Amino acid sequence: MEGIGGMRRWYVPLTVLGLAGLGALVLSSRGRKTLAWLAENFMKAPETLLEWNENTQRELERLRAALTELADSLGPIADRFHSAL
């Protein structure tokens, strides 16, 4: 086990690698296009998440209603099964 001291020797190389990656992202045309797309769509994220949440909630309520209806229809069958045991 190297401990904290062993990790310190990786700080500079990892920092340089991270900065080089960011530099390549910013300097390349594809990287700039990707950053522009992210910035543009980042503003839409809360609305999209809220819409997804509402749709998910409606689907869960529909499933809950279907399961309740199924349980109610199986009620007499389940009662007969338990009484036979």
* Residue matched to tokens 């229809």: 73
The DSSP string of 15-83 is HHHHHHHHHHHHHSHHHHHHHHHHHHHHTTHHHHHHHHHHHHHHHHHHHHHHHHHHHHHHHHHHHHHHH
User: Could you report the per-residue pLDDT of 13-23, keeping only the tens digit for each?
Assistant: 888 888 888 78
* Sequence spans of domains, the chain: 1-40, 44-85
User: Could you report the per-residue pLDDT of 29-79, keeping only the tens digit for each?
Assistant: 887 888 888 888 877 778 888 888 999 999 999 999 998 888 888 877 766
